[in-house]
A and B are shown apart, each in its own frame.
Chain A
Amino acid sequence: MNRIPCPHCGERDLEEFYYGGDATVQRPSMDDGSLERWHDFVYLRDNPRGPHSELWYHSSGCRRWFKLTRDTLNHQILAADQKEPETVTGDNVGDSNV
C-alpha cells in the first residue's frame, strides 16, 4: 500500500499519514464503572480479514482526521469518509498534534 486518498487533499503518499487504528471501537462514558466495557474498549479488536473501518490522520497535509474503509487482504480503499469521525472528538486517539 503506497497511496492514501485524503478526502480533503486527494491521493497522497502513505508517508504523509499517521495510522489511528480501528474506527469502530467506542469509548465508554467517563462515569461508566464497568471493568468489562473498559477492558473491551482498550484491548479487544475485531481485526477483520477483509473490509476494515479505520482512522487516519493527514499529519503532513491538512492535519485532519478521517475515516477510511480499507480491505486488509489487498489494501483496496473501499470508502473515504469526509466527515470528522466522532471517535476523534472523544480523546481515544489523543492529541491531534501527533
Chain B
Amino acid sequence: MKYNFAAIVKQALNGQRGWPRAWRSATPKAHYDVIIIGGGGHGLAAAYYLAKNHGITNVAVLEKGWIGGGNAGRNTTIVRSNYELQDNSRFYEHSLKLWEELSTELNFNTMFSQRGAMIVAQNDGSVDYLLKRGNAMRLQGIDAQWLSPDEVRKELSGVYSDENARLPIYGGLMQRRGGTARHDAMIWGYARAASALGIDIIENCEVTDFVLQGEKVLGVQTTRGKILSGATALSVAGHSGHLAAKAGIRLPLESHLLQAFVTEPVKPLLDTVAVFSGLELYISQSDKGGLVFGGELDGYNSYSQRGSFSRSRDIMKAAATYFPMMSRLKVLRQWAGVVDMTMDGSPIMHCGPLDNLYINAGWCYGGFKGTPAAGWCLAHSIAENELHPLSKGFSLDRFKSGKTIDEPGTGPVPNAH
C-alpha cells in the first residue's frame, strides 16, 4: 500500500483497522542468490538497492533479533558529510544526497531535517584545522561555512558565553545541509521498500557459521537451518570481528562501546547539531524536545552494550559545561552501542577475501549517516563483484599498501579515533 493522503483518509474512515504490515515476515528458503547477514540499516539498504538498481530480488536479509533493535536503534541520528579526506568526503556526500531524497524514494517520512551540523573550535589549533577541513570540503563541492564566535553563540542558544572560560569559543565550521533524521523511520522505510520489491526479511535468525568449500562461501548455518547462496554479504557492525572469525578471517578492527543520552523534553532550544572539540560532546535536540548527546568511546573492547559510569560522568560534565542549564535536566535514557572501530577510523568495504563473500564493516560511529551510500555501494559490490568507485578506497588492501584513511591522524589505535 502506498502511503499518501488518500490512504490516510480511507483508513480514518475505516477506523484505522486496514493498515497492512509494513513488511512481510518471510520463512527462509533453502537457496538464495544473495544472503545479507545483518538486518540493520546497511543490510536492508543494500537489499533495497540490489532490487532497485540491479534487478536482483532473490535476496534474504538475515537478522538475529528484530528490525531496528541493533545499532539502528542505538545512535544519535546525525547526518553530515563534513570530512576532510577525499575517500570519506566523496562517499558521505553521496550519502547525504541520497538522504535528501530518501523520504520520497522510500515513500516513508524519514523526518530528515537539514538543520545544520557545526563543529565548534575551542583553541587556535582547532581553528587552523577546521579552516583547512572547510576549505577541503568546498574544493570538493560540499557546503561549508566559517562562523565567528558571536555567530556560533547566536546559533547555539543556551551555550556558555564566558570568554575567560578554560575552553572559550573560537569559531565554528558549519555545514548547513547536515542535520538529523528519524532512525526508526529510516530502517522501517528501507525494510518496507525492500520487502515490497520481493526481498525476504527473516528476523530471529542468527547466523551461527559459514558453509565453506575451500576458499569459497556456499552459504550459512543459522538457528533456522542451513541456507545456501550465490553471494554472502557480512553487514553486522559491532559483531563483524566475531562473525568473520567463523570464516577464518581476522579484521583490522576492535569492538568498543559508545554511549549516548536523552534528557527529558524541553521547549525548542537547539535548532542545529553541535559538536564540541574541547571536551568531546555532540548534541542536538529531537523533535520531541529531548536533548540527545554523546561523547567519547568507553575505550576498551566490549560487546556488552553497557557503558561505564566514569565515561557517563565525563559526557555529562561536558554537557553541563557547555550548556549550564542542562545541569538541571533529568536524563531519561542512556544506552551504549557496540561499534566496530577500525585501525584508521574509516570503514571497510571489501570483495573477498573468500570467494562469494562481501564485507561491509568498520563503520566506527559513522554508520547511521552512511547508511544509504553503504547500501548503495554494497549492492554494487555484490552485483558487479567489484567495489563501487565511491568505496574503492575502503578496501582491506589499504592496510597493506599504506593508504590508510586516518582523518584525525592518530595511527593504528582503534579507541583513539
Contacts and interface: CB of A to CB of B under 8 A. Distances in A.
A48 B300 contact: no
Interface in B243-263: 245, 250-255
Contacts of B254: 21-22, 45, 47
A13 B308 CA distance: 11
B334 interface: no
A67 to B, nearest CB: 14
A52 interface: yes
A40 interface: yes
B308 A2 contact: yes
Contacts of A74: 304
B242 interface: yes
Contact of A72 (B253, B301, B308, B399): B301
Given A35-B400, A49-B303, A15 B310 contact: yes
A91 interface: no
B241 interface: yes
Contacts of A44: 250-252
B399 A39 contact: yes
Nearest to A47: B241
Interface residues of B, number: 28
Contacts of B253: 45, 47
A42 interface: yes
Main SS of the interface on chain B? mixed
A70 B304 CA distance: 12
B278 to A, nearest CB: 19
Contacts of B306: 1, 75
Given A2-B309, A2-B310, A72-B302, A45 B399 contact: no
B73 interface: no
Interface in A38-63: 39-40, 42-49, 52, 54
B310 A72 contact: no
A43 B308 contact: no
A75 B298 CA distance: 13
A1 B308 contact: yes
Interface in B194-250: 239, 241-242, 245, 250
B286 interface: no
Nearest to A74: B304
Nearest to B411: A42
Given A2-B309, A52-B301, 8 more contacts: A1-B304, A14-B308, A19-B299, A35-B400, A44-B252, A45-B254, A73-B303, A75-B304
